[in-house]
A and B are shown apart, each in its own frame.
Chain A
């Protein structure tokens, strides 16, 4: 099936630093969403993107929908300890009848 690629699997940053995460695909997606998952919980929607080139912010988070529609990135600025978690990108393919395709996620660790 279709895959969204997220790498590296883990990232380690210092509190206060900015971090950027990428998500790529060989297929065109028409919607990109970024979720955060804490241990033992369900994914929480952070940002949704609907148009190629769109740049959207949610507090310290900024995400962009790539021009080619095959990638997206998420930036977290001035990281804090509660940013720790797994960040997933998810996309909807053209004609995919609403289902989401997920990347494998990036585990973010923030050192105080």
Chain B
């Protein structure tokens, strides 16, 4: 019974490079959420996707950030031209239903460091 998987666990990028973060939801889950966590802070919602659709991207910066959840394969959070302020832990969560009352299960996160 694999949980939510994320890779890589740690990612180091120089300013201006691209970062690609992957998330495989729990088996049977078709709803994926991405959150960002800064040190000493709680998690902040970024984007909610179902297979092939972005449902809510209200927490995603308008530029440089994009997310997808293709029909086959993991969900990808892509950050182009990274800056130092992008350094954070990025968590993916999945659930098996939408709307209120869904329980979201989190992966171990990807810790992005921009040098």
Contact = CB atoms under 8 A, between A and B. Distances in A.
A42 B106 contact: yes
Contact of B104 (A30, A41, A45): A45
Contacts of B59: 99
Contact of A43 (B55, B99, B106): B106
B48 interface: yes
A35 B31 CA distance: 19
Interface residues of A, number: 27
Interface residues of B, number: 32
B101 A100 contact: no
A105 B100 contact: no
Contacts of B101: 30-31, 48, 50, 92
Contact of A41 (B43, B102, B109): B109
B56 A99 contact: yes
A97 interface: yes
A99 B106 contact: no
Given A43-B91, A104-B40, 14 more contacts: A30-B101, A40-B111, A42-B91, A43-B43, A45-B105, A50-B101, A96-B100, A98-B102, A99-B48, A100-B35, A100-B45, A101-B45, A102-B35, A104-B41
Interface of A: 4, 30-31, 33, 35, 40-45, 48, 50, 88, 90, 92, 94, 96-105
12 contacts: A30-B101, A31-B101, A33-B103, A40-B108, A42-B4, A94-B100, A98-B31, A98-B95, A101-B45, A102-B35, A102-B43, A104-B42
